[in-house]
Structure 1
C-alpha cells in the first residue's frame, strides 16, 4: 500500500529539490526500522521505476545524485542492510547501464525491470474501448496479416460498428507494422541482458548482485481488447527467465495477482495458480 504523502511524484523536481530531501528522510526512517528487524531478513528498494529521462549523456545527472545520496544516507544508519538500487528511465536496463555505482558495496543489489519490448508485454490501447492485442512472441512466429485478421474478428465478435473498426485499425495497423519491422525475438533479448551483464563486469559487480526485479506480460482479456495470447505470453516468460538464469541473474516475476493476467494467479475465479505460467517459470514441480 502506497502512502500518498510519499508518492514517487515528489522526487521529480531534481536532485536538490525539497521533495527529494523529504523522500530521502522517509527512506532513512524506514531503513532504521528495517535494520532492527535484521539485515539477513529484509532488503530495501527505495525507488520503483524512477521516471527520469533520457538515460544517455544528453540527460542530467539528477538521478545519479539521487541514488548515490540515498545509498549514503541508508549506510549512515546501517552498513549491512541490503539495498536494491535502480537506474532511471523506469528502472530499465537502459537506465541501469547509465548508472555509475561509485557507492557500491557487497550488500547492494542492482535492479532492472524487463518489459522489452513494451509493445508486446503491454498490449493495450489508451483509447476507450479500443482493441490492441494479439502480437505474437517471437515476432517471426506470425505475420502482420494474421494479427490484423484476428483483431478484426475480435472486433466483430464484440459488436463494433464498421466505423469503429476502421478508426481502431488506423491506430493498430501502425503498431502492428512497427512490431514486425523490429522483429523482436531471442537475439534482442540476449542483447538486452548482455548490456546489464557487461555493465556489471565493467564495474566489478558479481552477476548474482544484478537482479531482474520484474517481468511479465498482460494476458489477453476475455473480449480480446488487450493482451497477448496465453501461448505467446508463456513463450516470452520462459525466454526471459532462461536468459536471466543463463547469466545467473536472480529474478522476481510481476506479480502475485492482478486483474490483467500479469500474475501468478488466474485473473478470474478462485485464487488458483496459473499452471502454464508456473511451467514457463520452471516452477511446475515446486
Structure 2
C-alpha cells in the first residue's frame, strides 16, 4: 500500500509538472528608477529603511507637478502594457540579515503588491549596481564556488520565499541582470552555467510554482543565451535575452564631454555615410564647436560610420539575431514563447544633437524589433518607463505624458 501511495503521488507530481507553465507575459515596460540605486549615507552605507518611496522616485528627474493626477501604475496599464519589469537593487538585501533584511523584504513585497493592484504582473528583476562596491555584482565573479556567489544565492532564496507569498500567479523572478561572465563561447569556464543551474535549484526548493527568468552570461546577450545548457529546465521557466543590436545604433553616445556621436539611420541603407557626416557637421556648427574640435570629432565619427554602413544593418540582420535565440530554444525542446526579450530600446537624440538617434529612425527600429519578437510569440519588455537619458516611454521632459508615437511603434493602442 505504501508503494502504491508513493507511485500515485509520483504520477500526480508528473501530471502537475506537465501542466505547469510560466505566468503569461506579453508586453511590458521596465521601471528602473524607483527601487534601483537605493539611497546611501555619507559613509557609503545604505540609508535605512532602504529604497525610495514612489513619490521620491517620481520627483527624481522632474517636478512632481509635471505628473498628471491618478495612479502611475494604472496609467501604465492603460497604455496597453500587461506587466512591469521591476528593477530592484539587491545591495540592501545583501548588506542585511535577520529582522533588518525582513524589513527590506517587506518594503519590496508592498511595492510588488502596489504594482499588481493596478492589474499588472511583475517580473522582479534583481539588478545589481556599483554604488556600494562590496554588494555589487562583482561579488559573484570569483567563480561558482566563491563565497560571494554563495551569499548572493542565499539572498535569492529569501527573495523567492517573499515572492511566493505575494502570489505565484502574478510575479516572475529574474535573479540576475546582464551577468558579465565572458567569453561568450565554449572557451570560457563553466562557472556561469553552474551558478544559474544552482540558483534555479535553490528557488525550486522554495517553490515549484514561482516563474523563474533564467539568463545566459555575456551581459545577458543572445550570444550568452545560446552558450547556456538548460539542463535545469522545467515548464515554468523563461529564458531572457536583451536586444541592443547593433549597439552602435541603439547607444549612440560620445566618449568625451565635448564630442558628438549621433544620427546613424535605421535601417542603414536609408541613408549614406556622407549624409550622416553632413548632418553631424551642421549640429556641431550650431553648438559652436571650433574647426579643430570638429575635425577631431569627425575623424572618430567617420570610422564608426564606415563600420555601421559596411555591416548594412537592417531587418535581415535583426531576423538572424532572433533566429539564433529561437534555434537554440528549438534545439533544446523549448517553445519560443518561453524566450523573454527583457530589454530593448534606442537613445533618442538629445536637444543639442550630441547623442542619440533621430526619432524617426528610433521608431522604425523599435517597431522592427517588436515585430520580430511577436513573430516568434516572444514576450518583451521595453527599456524603460521614465528616465532622463533618452530611452523612455513617457516624454523625457515637461509633463509626464506618454510618447504616443513610441506607443504606436510598440503596437500599443
- Where 2:212 maps in the other structure, the secondary structure is strand
Please give the alpha-carbon distance, in whole angstroms, between the structure 2 residues aligned to 1:52 and 1:10: 12
- Where 1:277 maps in the other structure, the secondary structure is helix
Instruction: List per-residue Cα deviations over 1:11-47 (Å, max 9, x = no partner).
Output: 1111111111111111111001111111112111000
- 8 Å contact 1:220–1:227 — kept in the other structure? yes
Deviation of 1:90 after TM superposition, in Å, equals: 0.7
Deviation of 1:3 after TM superposition, in Å, equals: 7.9
Deviation of 1:7 after TM superposition, in Å, equals: 2.3
Instruction: List per-residue Cα deviations over 1:54-101 (Å, max 9, x = no partner).
Output: 111111111111111111111111111110000111101111011000
Please give the alpha-carbon distance, in whole angstroms, between the structure 2 residues aligned to 1:165 and 1:234: 29
Q: Based on CA coordinates, which of the two structures has the bigger radius of gyration?
A: 2
- 8 Å contact 1:8–1:47 — kept in the other structure? no
Deviation of 1:253 after TM superposition, in Å, equals: 0.5
How does the TM-score come out when normalised to structure 1? 0.96
Cα RMSD (Å) of the superposition?
1.4
- Where 1:192 maps in the other structure, the secondary structure is helix
Please give the alpha-carbon distance, in whole angstroms, between the structure 2 residues aligned to 1:18 and 1:172: 44
Deviation of 1:260 after TM superposition, in Å, equals: 2.1
- 8 Å contact 1:124–1:226 — kept in the other structure? yes
Please give the alpha-carbon distance, in whole angstroms, between the structure 2 residues aligned to 1:253 and 1:44: 17
Deviation of 1:261 after TM superposition, in Å, equals: 2.2
- 8 Å contact 1:6–1:23 — kept in the other structure? no
- 8 Å contact 1:219–1:262 — kept in the other structure? yes
- 8 Å contact 1:112–1:213 — kept in the other structure? yes
Deviation of 1:161 after TM superposition, in Å, equals: 0.7
Instruction: List per-residue Cα deviations over 1:107-143 (Å, max 9, x = no partner).
Output: 1100100000000000001212210000000000000
Deviation of 1:256 after TM superposition, in Å, equals: 0.2
Question: Comparing both chains, which one has the higher relative contact order based on Cα–Cα distances under 8 Å and sequence gaps of 6 or more?
Answer: 2
How does the TM-score come out when normalised to structure 2? 0.67
Please give the alpha-carbon distance, in whole angstroms, between the structure 1 residues aligned to 2:134 and 2:398: 34
- Where 2:380 maps in the other structure, the secondary structure is coil
- 8 Å contact 1:113–1:213 — kept in the other structure? yes
Matched, 1:46 2:46: no
Deviation of 1:166 after TM superposition, in Å, equals: 1.1
Please give the alpha-carbon distance, in whole angstroms, between the structure 2 residues aligned to 1:121 and 1:158: 23
Please give the alpha-carbon distance, in whole angstroms, between the structure 2 residues aligned to 1:6 and 1:48: 14
Structure 1, unmatched stretches of 5+, are: none
- 8 Å contact 1:220–1:226 — kept in the other structure? yes
Residue in 2 that maps onto 1:100: 229
Deviation of 1:173 after TM superposition, in Å, equals: 1.1
Instruction: List per-residue Cα deviations over 1:212-262 (Å, max 9, x = no partner).
Output: 111000000000000000000000000000000111111110000111221
Deviates more, 1:12-21 or 1:111-120: 12-21
Deviation of 1:9 after TM superposition, in Å, equals: 2.1
Deviation of 1:4 after TM superposition, in Å, equals: 6.7
Aligned length: 283
Instruction: List per-residue Cα deviations over 1:130-173 (Å, max 9, x = no partner).
Output: 10000000000000000001111101100011111111112111
- 8 Å contact 1:53–1:88 — kept in the other structure? yes
- 8 Å contact 1:86–1:111 — kept in the other structure? yes
Do the aligned partners of residues 102 and 39 (structure 1) sit closer, same or farther apart at CA in structure 2, a change above 3 Å counting?
Answer: same
Runs of 4 or more consecutive aligned structure 1 residues displaced over 2 Å after TM superposition: 1-7
